[in-house]
Structure 1
């Protein structure tokens, strides 16, 4: 879905969200409550400039509007693969973005992620996966890497990984598999304002992804391992 269509469905034609290149930003009013919207479009690669721009808005929201909800609109192909960004410290810029989102959550800002198009790799990890919860549209595409790339990294045959992906969501791309693993809390279908309203009101502030993955059968061992570590602490 195009971001303009999404914004219009959520907030009406006078939504006030604007695009600066691949960067989306806006102060919208949703059912009488102000919400800060930050996002990306055009399958944006997240480089130093884009990561810092998003972090700046999160910091400004914390400073100027304590407790205001933050909605992250996600459409990214992952981190920017350029020498310039590597030399400028893209790892630190993306870590800074993730840290600002985490601090906002700890200070009482409800942070909601929504994958409306594409979410890959580090660009997704430092945004939607750090929010209180991440949601997605049914047509969205989510993955860490394609099976051929996974085969190169793991040194396992593509055929074996393809077979594993049929029964284990960890090895398979696709939004439904991320729902099964708990990485995506739910899909937004039909009435999008109602879905946002429910997310703002009922999304838990504690991390329930491991428990959700266990209950849904897509990530069976994370929750028990976490509990064993807590019991041993």
Structure 2
């Protein structure tokens, strides 16, 4: 689906979302009642420091103003790895954007990521994966880390990683694999009205507790993450 088709499908009663050089801001009328704030990245734009701080400001300005959801719509490249962005602290700007989304979610603005195109690396972590729930549109092409980059980090050959990816979703890019690991909460049906599917999701939103580990365990995509996280949490409480 194209961005225009998605926005029209989500907001049949109208929206004012603008696309300024790949950065989305605005809002849309929810079916039934209320409005959703919209931020995001479009056109496979690389996310740099200027974009991250602009989106962060938009999110922070909405807190306390309304209680509608924040939709983070994403089709990005990875982060913008220019010399300027790196020297000015790109990692901090991306972390700030992720924390703004998490803060908004904990303060009355439930966040929903909608991944409709590509996304990877830091840009993916700071936008789509920083939301309470992430929805995938069929055809989306996410990758937390591509296999050549993973090969450099793990020191395993691409051939070995490709073989592991056949049976272990954490090694594999793609929407289905991220859904199996629990990173993607659900995949929408493009033959059904998006506004209805958004309404159903908002009406049955999970609480703010991160459930990705539990979903990964249920779906047999990440069998140990939930238990290990639970043990770390319990140990932290004991250390109090």
- Relative to the length of structure 2, the TM-score reads 0.92
Query: 2:34 and 2:234 mapped to 1: Cα distance?
Result: 41
Query: 2:119 and 2:65 mapped to 1: Cα distance?
Result: 29
Query: 1:100 and 1:125 mapped to 2: Cα distance?
Result: 13
Shift of 1:195: 1.5
Q: Deviations over 1:97-116 (max 9, x none)?
A: 11111110111211100101
Query: 1:151 and 1:41 mapped to 2: Cα distance?
Result: 28
3-state SS in 2 of match to 1:71: strand
Unaligned runs of 5+ in 1: none
Query: 1:146 and 1:48 mapped to 2: Cα distance?
Result: 22
8 Å CA contact retained: 1:79, 1:122: yes
Shift of 1:148: 2.4
3-state SS in 2 of match to 1:142: strand
8 Å CA contact retained: 2:63, 2:108: no
8 Å CA contact retained: 2:22, 2:43: yes
1:215 aligns with 2:221: no
Q: Following superposition, which runs of at least 4 residues in structure 1 exceed 4 angstroms of deviation? A: none
Q: Deviations over 1:71-102 (max 9, x none)?
A: 00011111101011112221121111111111
8 Å CA contact retained: 2:135, 2:187: yes
Shift of 1:63: 4.3
Query: 2:29 and 2:11 mapped to 1: Cα distance?
Result: 7
**Other-structure match for 1:17:** 17
**Other-structure match for 1:195:** 197
- Relative to the length of structure 1, the TM-score reads 0.95
**Other-structure match for 1:37:** 38
Aligned length: 232
Unaligned runs of 5+ in 2: none
Query: 2:85 and 2:234 mapped to 1: Cα distance?
Result: 42
**Other-structure match for 1:105:** 105
3-state SS in 1 of match to 2:117: strand
**Other-structure match for 1:49:** 50
**Other-structure match for 1:132:** 132
8 Å CA contact retained: 1:116, 1:140: yes
Query: 1:50 and 1:117 mapped to 2: Cα distance?
Result: 18
1:78 aligns with 2:70: no
Shift of 1:13: 7.4
* Greater Cα offset, 91-100 or 169-178: 91-100
